[in-house]
Structure 1
Amino acid sequence: MALALVGLSGCSPADDSDIKRLALPIGSTDRTDYVWNLWLGAWIAVLAVFLLVFGLMVYAMIRYRRRSVDEVPSQVRYNLPIEALYTFAPVVIVAVFFFHTVTAQNSILEKVDNPDHTIEVVGSKWQWAFNYLDEPTVDGASVYDQGTPADLADLYLPVDESVRFNLMSPDVIHSFWVPEFYFKMDVVPGNGPQENSFDLTPTREGVFTGRCAELCGLYHSRMLFKVHVVSRAEYDQHLQDLREQGNIGAPQGSVKAKQIAGLDDVEEEEN
């Protein structure tokens, strides 16, 4: 077990080896270390439980094996210490997992006082739209990226600059997930208390694939988008390109995202 723990201690979320990353992608934000520490701790706990249980099994097979044809091994029906161990050990394990999970969650969801950028994420059946709220045009309107299942949306983020994501949906619950961010959050219909939000800072340039992680209907599997973490100069150039293409204002999905889908129709029928 000591050798295994030493081996796990050499793992890193930035390592090129999938094995040393314990099957996680390379981390790409300032919040990934919290998830990585939780993931590594889970592996250590699983290894410890496996070695304990497997060791007890091997011990029982050797210690109480049948040693001759005429000898019958001791038939023990109850073993209070073992039963107590199997009762209390899972409770302790779950409590420790719960504590570290909540601690990591609180660190991941900690808000930045003044984020460098604010992006409104709109998930709708079955596409994504991204409104760059703090990057207005001359008349004060924002610019946006929008896609379809056939033509995926692009989300551009400047490296090493903090971003606040405000999530909303005009129809059903979706889930904003970028595996390299080690993070996902539900995109809930309606406005107000249901609006989810989180902050992070991308730390590595590259192109990553994001997706919806909540089964949301027929084309859920095609609800993808591309995340481009780029330099600030390339980010500014992309926003300029959006202005020149006429992607100004908020896409229709963003406007309807502040309403619960179908609610207006129900109210009209009642009236």
Structure 2
Amino acid sequence: MSSQNRTGSRRKQITTITGLALAGALALTGCSPEVEKGWLPTERGTTSNTGLIMDLWVNSWIAALVVGIITWGLMIWCIVAYRRRKGTVGFPRQNSFNLPLEVFYLTVPLFMVLVFFYFTDRDQQQIDDRSKPADVVVDVRGKQWAWDFNYKKGAVVTEDLHETGVQAHLTGNNVDKEKLPTLYLPVNKSVDFELNSRDVIHSFWVPAFLQKRDMIPGKTNYIRLTPTKEGTYDGKCAELCGEYHSEMLFRVKVVSETEFQAHMNQLRQDGNTGLLGDEYDRNPVPTETK
């Protein structure tokens, strides 16, 4: 066997082994819980929306990875197949156009974008569906650099109640989470968050819920979800809002309805009746401009 044939055979073996190793590595990592949930900071079933959001996230990455592999493979194949050979002179033969190829790379990406748009829009509409009244409505007011929570009278809350929060003070040590503003939610009850700002743009974010939405002065944004797993979850402002943005922390406690009603009774006993509305905003927006 000539040296050229031996070299070509060795290259094929190396390519085969490398391909099998990469495929094996991908298969092994695909079995891990972190990969199955796309390295997201939560578990399925934390709220009514987390499973849907995780599926959309993971499937989007799978589609992007498949497209990337095909694209990279075609690029590498073109580099190898059409490389300049030793002893070649002049320019390669030029092609002015290739109609089937041009139709292919125009229609296939368009089809892919439409498919991605369809699934994203379908899931987004389901997540944001507020066609039915929520069991609990909480008017969340972001302010530099804390939170106010207004529990509005409705199916579960029998009287307008409020709770004010104070700014966390980070000293480099562990945060005393018991002193953070805490939002209480009853498990398995649908919740509407009405998101408002008292001063500048903030952003309401509970990482475990996989939902974040901006709080814009003069405009009310909404998040609809049903917490389905009891527990305590960290929250924070996710929009740079000033000097102490990093200290704008809060917690969410998802509890049984009995414990939720006990907390509402405590607020009532403490005299926290009524709502803290936009009359406490630092920069109130005239009603006619809202």
Give the match for residue 245 of structure 2: 220
The size of the alignment, in residue pairs, is: 248
Work out which of the residue numbers 37, 41, 57 in structure 1 matches 2:75: 57
* Structure 2 counterpart of 1:18, one-letter code: E
Work out which of the residue numbers 136, 151, 155 in structure 2 matches 1:117: 136
Deviation at 1:89, TM superposition (A): 4.3
Cα pair distance change 1:239/1:21, threshold 3 Å: same
Work out which of the residue numbers 217, 232, 256 in structure 2 matches 1:189: 217
Task: State whether residues 120 and 131 of structure 1, in contact with CA within 8 Å, keep that contact through their aligned partners in structure 2.
Answer: yes
Aligned pairs for 1:23-42 within 5 A: 23-25=39-41, 26-27=43-44, 28-42=46-60
Aligned pairs for 1:235-246 within 5 A: 235-246=260-271
Superposed CA deviations along residues 47-68 of structure 1, whole A, max 9, x for unmatched, are 111111121123224323456x
Determine whether 1:98 maps to 2:117.
yes
Give secondary structure in 1 for the equivalent of 2:132: coil
* Structure 2 counterpart of 1:17, one-letter code: P
Cα pair distance change 1:262/1:246, threshold 3 Å: closer
Q: TM-score, normalised by structure 1?
A: 0.77
Cα pair distance change 1:47/1:136, threshold 3 Å: closer
Task: State whether residues 186 and 256 of structure 2, in contact with CA within 8 Å, keep that contact through their aligned partners in structure 1.
Answer: yes
> Counterparts of 2:37 and 2:160 in 1: how far apart (Å)?
43
Give secondary structure in 2 for the equivalent of 1:132: strand
Q: Identical aligned pairs, as a percentage? A: 40
Work out which of the residue numbers 11, 15, 21 in structure 1 matches 2:37: 21
Give structure 1 stretches of 5+ with no counterpart.
Answer: 265-271
Cα pair distance change 1:62/1:217, threshold 3 Å: same
Note the aligned Cα RMSD (angstroms): 3.2
> Counterparts of 1:128 and 1:76 in 2: how far apart (Å)?
68
Task: State whether residues 124 and 172 of structure 1, in contact with CA within 8 Å, keep that contact through their aligned partners in structure 2.
Answer: yes
The structure that has the greater radius of gyration is 2
Superposed CA deviations along residues 107-166 of structure 1, whole A, max 9, x for unmatched, are 1110152322111111111111111112667xx542425232334210111111111111
Give the match for residue 173 of structure 2: none
Deviation at 1:189, TM superposition (A): 1.4
Cα pair distance change 1:260/1:148, threshold 3 Å: closer
Give the match for residue 204 of structure 2: 176
Cα pair distance change 1:90/1:77, threshold 3 Å: farther
